[in-house]
Amino acid sequence: MHIIINTSCMVPIYEQIVDQIKTQIRKGNLKENDILPSVRSLAKELKISALTVKKAYDALEEEGFTVTVHGKGTYVVSINTELLLEEQKKELEADLENAIQKGRRCGISDEDIRSLFELILEG
């Protein structure tokens, strides 16, 4: 399971796990009926608490991406990947809008905001 945890950024670990598993489902790296790593094994691999992994798995099941079978494991279910992409874009849109609004609140011109954005995207 290729999951990268960035403990230095402010995004909760469990949310980072959710994001990346959702993306792997969308991209087809995880297919219907695939089994996710066990809570404990992923926790060990990522060197984090099992509860944190469990919280991520709970969120995935809540959102309908997986089903958990007691004593067996957590399985990927059939997903409309188109819909998932739209949802992830909605999240990105909200983040960008927050950043832009904050910049404007600070009195930074749209030109300057765009310049910064391009600088980051290119760099």
Residues that bind DNA (CB under 7 A): 12-15, 36, 38-41, 48-52, 54-55, 57-58, 68-74
Enter the tokens of residue 9: 């950024």
Residue 26 to residue 72: CA distance in whole angstroms? 24
> From the CA atom positions of the chain, what is the Rg in Å?
18
Binding at 50: pick from its own copies, DNA, none (beta carbon under 5-8 Å per type):
DNA
Q: For Cα atoms 121, 30, 49, give the angle at the middle one, nearest 5 degrees.
A: 80
Residue type, 51: L
77 binds its own copies (CB under 8 A): no
Least distance in angstroms from the C-beta of 92 to its own copies? 4
Closest to DNA by CB, 36 vs 76, is 36
Q: For Cα atoms 4, 6, 10, give the angle at the middle one, nearest 5 degrees.
A: 140
67 binds its own copies (CB under 8 A): no
Binding at 95: pick from DNA, its own copies, none (beta carbon under 5-8 Å per type):
its own copies
Residue 100 to residue 59: CA distance in whole angstroms? 29
Per CB under 8 A, residues contacting its own copies are: 9-11, 16, 19-20, 22-23, 26-27, 62, 85, 88-89, 91-93, 95-103, 105-108, 110, 112-114, 116-117, 119-121
